[in-house]
C-alpha cells in the first residue's frame, strides 16, 4: 500500500477523507453505516480515473458480526494496517474495555502519522476515550449525545450530521455517513458527480453537515398538531425533574384530561408511559456507553427505587439492566 505523502496537492487538500480509507468494524456495528460509507465510493469509482481505495479492518483480523448477526469478512487486522489516509471506526454497541485497550494505541499511532481519524454512529465515543477529540467539535448518533456530553466535557458535542476538521471526522451514522461521503466526493470531484452518486443511492439531495439529525417534534407537529409535539418535547427534555403532568398540560394550553386523550388518540399511549419510555431508552444508552453502575444509571434517569427500575427495564427490554452493562 502506498504511503501517504505529507505534501498534498490543492485537490487533495480539499479532501475530507483522504484515500486509502480503512474502516474499522466494531462488533455489533450497523450495516447501514458501513454501506453508507463504501457504496457511494464504489459508485463514484465508475466515473473517475483516480479511484477511491478502501479496506475493511477488525481488531484481530477475524470476521465481525453486525447488529443482525451477519459476519462481515475483513481484509486485515488493525495492527497490520500500513500507511493510510483515513481510518473510520464504525460502532453501535460500545466495545469491551479489553477490545478498546487493544485498538486505541493503534488509533493514536495512525493519528500521529498524519491520518484522518474518524468515528461513525457511536464510534466517536471510542475516539473520545482515547483523547483523540479533546478540544474539538464532534457529533455522534442522537441516542448517545447526552451521554457523550456528560462523559466528555472536553469535547464540544454538536447535533450535526457530521463534523470534520483538524484531521478528525465524526458522523452520526446511518444515512448521515452517506452525506459525509457525498461531501467528500463533491470537494474532490465536483457537485455533479456527488449528485449523480446520490441519485444512484436513491438518496435525493445531499444534506449539509449542519442539518438536524432528527426533527421528531416538527414531524409530529406537522402530522398530529403542535400541542402534542410541544408536550413530547417537554417530556423528552424533562430529565430527572419529573414535571407534573398538570404543568405540562398547562404549558401546551390544554387540560390534563385533554393531554391524556391527545396521547391516547395519536400515539396509543399515555404521557406518563411516554416519559417512562424516554427514561428507559436513556438508561439503556447509559448502560451501554457509560461507566456508571446500574444504581447510578437508575438515579440519573429519575428512578428513585433500584427494584422499580429493574422491573420497568425488564418489562421494556425483556432482560435485566445488568445484562446491558458495558
Strands 76-77 and 71-72: unpaired
- Return the pLDDT at 1: 35
Distances (CA, A) of 311 to 8, 298, 306: 58, 11, 9
Per-residue pLDDT, averaged over 269-287, amounts to 89
- Return the pLDDT at 326: 66
Does any domain span residue 236? yes
Q: What is the pLDDT of residues 89-103, one digit of tens each?
A: 999 988 888 999 999
Tell me: do 52 and 99 sit in the same domain: yes
Tell me: do 186 and 251 sit in the same domain: no
| Higher per-residue confidence, 20 vs 217 | 20
Q: How many domains does the chain have?
A: 2
Chain centre distance of CA 66: 15
Inform me whether the pLDDT recorded for 64 exceeds 90. yes
Tell me: do 71 and 148 sit in the same domain: yes
pLDDT band at 2 (very low <50, low <70, confident <90, very high): very low
Q: What is the pLDDT of residues 221-243, one digit of tens each?
A: 556 678 888 898 888 887 677 78
The parent domain of residue 311 ranges over 216-324
| Cis peptide bond N-terminal to 20, omega within 30 | yes
Residue 155: left (phi > 0), alpha (psi -120 to 50), or beta?
A: beta
- Return the pLDDT at 128: 97
| Higher per-residue confidence, 219 vs 129 | 129
Tell me: do 221 and 176 sit in the same domain: no
Tell me: do 189 and 231 sit in the same domain: no
- With 0-12 CB in 10 A as exposed, 13-18 as middle and 19+ as buried, what is 235? buried
Tell me: do 135 and 245 sit in the same domain: no
**What crossing angle do the helices spanning 245-252 and 256-267 adopt, rounded to 10°?**
80
- Return the pLDDT at 222: 56
Domain boundary, last residue among 200, 227, 261: 200
Tell me: do 299 and 244 sit in the same domain: yes
Does any domain span residue 177? yes
Domain boundary, last residue among 176, 200, 224: 200
- Return the pLDDT at 226: 82
Does any domain span residue 287? yes
The Cα 197–Cα 184 span in angstroms is: 12
Per-residue pLDDT, averaged over 61-69, amounts to 96
Residue 7: left (phi > 0), alpha (psi -120 to 50), or beta?
A: beta
- Return the pLDDT at 215: 66
* Residue 295 cell numbers, joined: 444504581
Tell me: do 314 and 183 sit in the same domain: no
The Cα 119–Cα 121 span in angstroms is: 7
Per-residue pLDDT, averaged over 43-70, amounts to 96
Tell me: do 119 and 152 sit in the same domain: yes
Q: Could you tell me which residues are beta bridge partners of residue 138?
A: 157
Does any domain span residue 304? yes
Inform me whether the pLDDT recorded for 8 exceeds 60. no
Does any domain span residue 1? no
CATH assignment at residue 221: 1.10.10.60
pLDDT band at 216 (very low <50, low <70, confident <90, very high): low
- Return the pLDDT at 104: 97
| Higher per-residue confidence, 12 vs 62 | 62
Tell me: do 220 and 192 sit in the same domain: no
Contacts of 226 (CB under 8 A, 6+ apart): none
Tell me: do 150 and 53 sit in the same domain: yes
Tell me: do 160 and 34 sit in the same domain: yes
| Higher per-residue confidence, 46 vs 282 | 46
CATH assignment at residue 107: 3.40.50.880
Instruction: Indicate the average pLDDT of the chain.
Output: 89
Domain boundary, last residue among 150, 176, 200: 200
Per-residue pLDDT, averaged over 173-182, amounts to 97
Does any domain span residue 3? no
Per-residue pLDDT, averaged over 73-80, amounts to 97
Inform me whether the pLDDT recorded for 4 exceeds 80. no
Inform me whether the pLDDT recorded for 276 exceeds 60. yes
Distances (CA, A) of 260 to 21, 238, 239, 264, 313: 51, 17, 20, 6, 23
Amino acid at each position: 500500500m502506498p504511503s501517504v505523502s505529507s505534501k498534498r496537492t490543492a485537490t487533495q487538500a480539499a479532501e475530507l477523507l483522504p484515500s486509502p480509507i480503512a474502516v474499522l468494524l466494531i462488533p455489533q456495528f450497523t450495516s447501514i453505516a458501513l454501506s453508507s460509507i463504501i457504496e457511494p465510493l464504489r459508485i463514484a469509482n465508475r466515473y473517475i480515473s483516480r479511484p477511491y481505495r478502501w479496506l475493511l479492518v477488525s481488531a484481530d483480523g477475524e470476521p465481525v458480526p453486525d447488529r443482525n448477526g451477519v459476519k462481515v469478512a475483513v481484509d486485515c487486522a488493525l495492527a497490520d494496517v500500513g500507511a493510510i489516509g483515513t481510518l473510520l471506526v464504525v460502532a453501535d454497541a460500545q466495545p469491551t474495555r479489553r477490545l478498546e485497550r487493544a485498538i486505541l494505541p493503534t488509533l493514536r499511532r495512525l493519528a500521529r502519522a498524519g491520518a484522518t481519524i474518524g468515528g461513525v454512529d457511536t464510534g466517536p465515543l471510542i475516539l473520545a476515550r482515547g483523547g483523540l477529540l479533546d478540544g474539538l467539535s464532534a457529533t455522534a448518533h442522537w441516542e448517545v449525545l447526552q451521554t457523550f456530553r456528560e462523559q466528555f466535557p472536553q469535547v464540544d458535542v454538536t447535533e450535526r450530521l457530521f463534523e470534520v476538521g483538524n484531521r478528525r471526522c465524526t458522523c452520526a451514522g446511518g444515512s448521515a455517513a452517506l452525506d459525509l461521503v457525498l461531501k467528500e466526493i463533491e470537494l474532490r470531484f465536483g457537485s455533479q458527480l456527488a449528485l449523480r452518486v446520490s441519485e444512484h443511492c436513491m438518496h435525493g439531495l445531499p444534506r449539509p453537515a449542519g442539518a438536524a439529525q432528527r426533527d421528531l417534534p416538527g414531524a409530529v407537529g406537522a402530522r398530529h398538531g403542535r400541542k402534542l409535539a410541544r408536550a413530547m418535547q417537554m417530556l423528552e427534555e424533562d430529565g430527572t425533574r419529573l414535571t407534573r403532568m398538570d404543568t405540562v398540560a398547562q404549558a401546551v394550553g390544554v387540560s390534563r384530561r385533554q393531554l391524556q386523550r391527545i396521547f391516547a388518540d395519536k400515539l396509543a399511549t399515555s404521557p406518563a408511559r411516554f416519559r417512562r419510555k424516554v427514561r428507559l431508552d436513556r438508561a439503556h444508552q447509559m448502560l451501554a456507553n457509560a461507566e456508571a453502575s446500574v444504581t447510578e444509571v437508575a438515579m440519573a434517569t429519575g428512578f428513585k427505587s433500584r427494584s422499580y427500575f429493574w422491573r420497568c427495564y425488564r418489562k421494556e427490554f425483556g432482560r435485566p439492566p445488568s445484562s446491558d452493562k458495558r
